[in-house]
């Protein structure tokens, strides 16, 4: 009887493990995870004139790269799901992929936001079961950048919407917003709420709360 009970228990454990492997992830994109809420993202940082800023593709993320002058700032309406379906084709450290010269505007729900180690505001947007990330750099990290004022204004508008500067812990506004930003393809580094193809609006150049929710 003991041997039989041991076999049954082993089969049950194996079944649970197999189910964990075989059950597909739901939705399009990545939902917030407990580990990410605890701060598992990994971003290299450096100090620039007293501000803690990023390193990886930082000129592109802040419109400080030579190719920023080639960006078409005509705003193209899009959905979160559509941007997550594009073929990822990122550029290099200070160069842009073909789609990274386009600006898109999306309407979505601002699910969560926090300040990251590189001082960016990390926004998780959700729409129709799909998620993606939008990022707002700190003004102190954008010296000499194209459209620096627009980036700073968008960040200020977000702070006004959530009641002040955002800290390093997640907050969950849950409000409908319109976000405008430059398309950017990131790489996996533990980020929460990413699109399937790691497409982001980075940096954000426009932010507005919809439906009088402010």
Answer positive or negative: Cα dihedral of 47, 49, 51, 55: negative
| Domain at 34, CATH number | 2.40.50.140
The mean-pLDDT minimum among 9-18, 139-148, 156-165 falls in 9-18
Averaged pLDDT of the chain: 83
Whole-prediction pTM: 0.79
Q: For residue 161, give its domain range.
A: 28-209
Work out the end-to-end distance of the chain between its first and last CA atoms, rounded to an integer number of angstroms.
Answer: 66
pLDDT of 171-209, one tens digit each? 999 999 999 999 999 998 888 999 999 999 999 999 999
Q: Quick one: average pLDDT of 98-122?
A: 97
Dist CA 100 CA 7 (whole Å) = 56
Domain count along the chain: 1
The two beta strands, 102-115 and 175-185, are: antiparallel
194 assigned to some structural domain: yes
**Residues facing residue 76 across a β-bridge:** 104
2 assigned to some structural domain: no
What confidence score (pLDDT) does residue 190 get?
Answer: 83
16 assigned to some structural domain: no
76 assigned to some structural domain: yes
23 assigned to some structural domain: no
For residue 120, give every residue at least 6 positions away whose Cβ sits within 8 Å of its Cβ, in sequence order, or none.
54, 61, 135, 136, 137, 138
10 assigned to some structural domain: no
Report CA-CA distances (Å) from 60 to 55, 67, 90, 172, 206. Answer: 10, 8, 10, 28, 17
Residue 1 has pLDDT above 80, yes or no: no
Dist CA 148 CA 121 (whole Å) = 15
Q: CA-based angle 78:32:174, to the nearest 5?
A: 60
pLDDT of 5-19, one tens digit each? 443 344 343 343 333
68 assigned to some structural domain: yes
12 assigned to some structural domain: no
């Amino acid at each position: 009887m003991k041997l039989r009970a041991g076999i049954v228990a082993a089969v049950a454990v194996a079944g649970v493990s197999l189910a964990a492997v075989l059950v597909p992830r739901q939705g399009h994109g990545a939902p917030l995870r407990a580990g990410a809420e605890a701060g598992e993202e990994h971003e290299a940082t450096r100090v620039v004139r007293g501000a803690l800023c990023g390193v990886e593709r930082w000129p592109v993320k802040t419109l400080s790269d030579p190719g920023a002058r080639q960006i078409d700032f005509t705003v193209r309406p899009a959905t979160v799901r559509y941007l997550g379906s594009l073929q990822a084709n990122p550029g290099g450290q200070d160069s842009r992929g073909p789609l990274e010269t386009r600006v898109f505007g999306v309407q979505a729900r601002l699910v969560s936001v926090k300040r990251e180690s590189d001082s960016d505001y990390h926004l998780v947007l959700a729409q129709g079961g799909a998620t993606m990330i939008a990022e707002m750099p700190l003004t102190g990290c954008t010296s000499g950048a194209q459209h620096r004022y627009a980036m700073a204004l968008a960040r200020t508008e977000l702070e006004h919407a959530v009641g002040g500067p955002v800290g390093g812990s997640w907050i969950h506004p849950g409000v409908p917003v319109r976000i405008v930003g430059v398309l950017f393809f990131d790489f996996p580094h533990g980020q929460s709420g990413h699109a399937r193809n790691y497409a982001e609006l980075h940096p954000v150049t426009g932010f507005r709360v919809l439906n009088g929710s402010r």
